[in-house]
Amino acid sequence: MGAKLTQALRDREILLIVGGGIAVYKSLDLVRRLRALGARVRVVMTTAAKEFVSPLAFVSLSNEAVHETLFSATDEQEMGHIQLSRRADLIVVAPATAHLLARAANGLCDDLATTLMLATDKRIVFAPAMNVRMWTHPATQKNIDTLRSQGAYFVGPDEGEMACGEFGPGRMSEVEDIVDKIISVCAQETRLPLPRGVQQCPRIIGNDLIGRHVLITSGPTHEAIDPVRYIANRSSGRQGHALAHAAVAAGARVTLITGPVTLADPPACQVIHVESAAQMSAAVEQALPADVFIGVAAVADWRVVQADHKIKKEPGASAPVFTLVENPDILASVAKSQKRPALVIGFAAETQNLIDSGRKKLIAKGCDMIIANDVGEGSEVFGGANNEAHVIMRDSLQSWPKMDKMMLATKLVELIAQRLSPEGANR
């Protein structure tokens, strides 16, 4: 397996639903393989699955609690079935029995496993395992067609000898094939599109930011040349403002310092409007201390020594010469501040060598995380609705596929909440 594939599942969260059947023993190996590739695996067992193997086996291999019942007083106090289905990057059902497929296809949710499948906003990969006649039955094939039409993926089944002595398609695929399928699906956007007429809600469930102060910069800066003209860039502020929305939804107290944009101020947060890099730097210093700093703004590296009056074009005169002065390095200043937040995060807008440039910036600025994105020609990141990012940390790298900026903001805030949790602090 190549180096790229071995990193494909690093820091991904897989929710594994285990159905009943002799193929359960393969699911134990599947947990081990996924964890070896850096994935976090949470396991849900049906009542039938527990007839074949003890939950303790999955606890030992996953190093996580096994979820078994919908009506758990502890889990459901925090709407556990919703939290489980939404936090995962992907749901895998292995083995997927004929019974599970039928209930999933028809929207039945009378236990934890089927409720998770109905409540999730992520793709589902099914690894079927059943008798050959059950697999080839028209009712089962109809259920499979229904699930595929809803965006589900299937791996297998393989053909071979069954536990019942019959031969044909119905054996659960080998673990290597299931892992390959999971990797290929995770290389795409795994979040399901919203139904028509439903708007994205950026509410973060669990591990939220209640009581935390999140300081965000957004938009471009305008550096005056004279009282009329200025130097600027194409940043729209969409990503920074989306992060403010997501952090507020997670319960944080948010201060948003924004350069000139055409966007409405996000509700329920303090918004400070500035124009230049110097003004933004002063506003950031004034807004500290904070628990988290996210430098999303495209801050100009240089400013012009400003003319006191409008520079006019004179007949026969040569082009004006501008003297540039370096602007304050806001990200580095926050990272070195005596009031340094627990997490300092910067964005790196690059046109080439994204990851290498992002890693160099991470070290040079002294921050904890860099979000590197491609702003080269054709990327449409500046001013566009979508973003594609590489999340660079000192101990790991996550590459996120192209997605809506609000979705990316929600995903980043979830990661921030994890990093601020006691478990994340020890990583």
List the domain boundaries for the chain: 3-186, 213-311+320-425
Q: Which fold would CATH assign to domain 213-311+320-425? A: Rossmann fold (3.40.50)
Q: Are strands 292-295 and 230-231 parallel, antiparallel or unpaired?
A: unpaired
Mean pLDDT, rounded, for 137-150: 92
Across the chain, mean pLDDT equals 84
d(CA 280, CA 298): 11
pLDDT score of 78: 42
Mean pLDDT, rounded, for 262-269: 85
Question: Is the pTM here over 0.75, yes or no?
Answer: no
Q: pLDDT: is 156 or 144 the higher one?
A: 144
Mean pLDDT, rounded, for 302-321: 79
Q: What angle do CA 424, 426, 427 make, to 5 degrees?
A: 65
Mean pLDDT, rounded, for 147-155: 90
Residue 208 has pLDDT above 80, yes or no: no
Give, for 136, the enclosing helix (H) or strand (E). Answer: helix 132-136
Q: Which of 164, 186, 201, 367 is catalytic?
A: 164
Give 269-324 as a DSSP string: SEEEE--SHHHHHHHHHHH---SEEEE-SB--SEEE---SSPPP--TTPPPP---E
Note if 164 is an active site residue: yes
* CATH architecture of the domain with residue range 3-186: 3-Layer(aba) Sandwich (3.40)
Q: pLDDT: is 368 or 188 the higher one?
A: 368
Residue 75 has pLDDT above 50, yes or no: no
**Cβ atoms 384, 375 nearer than 8 A:** no
The two domains 3-186 and 213-311+320-425 share their CATH topology (first three levels equal): yes
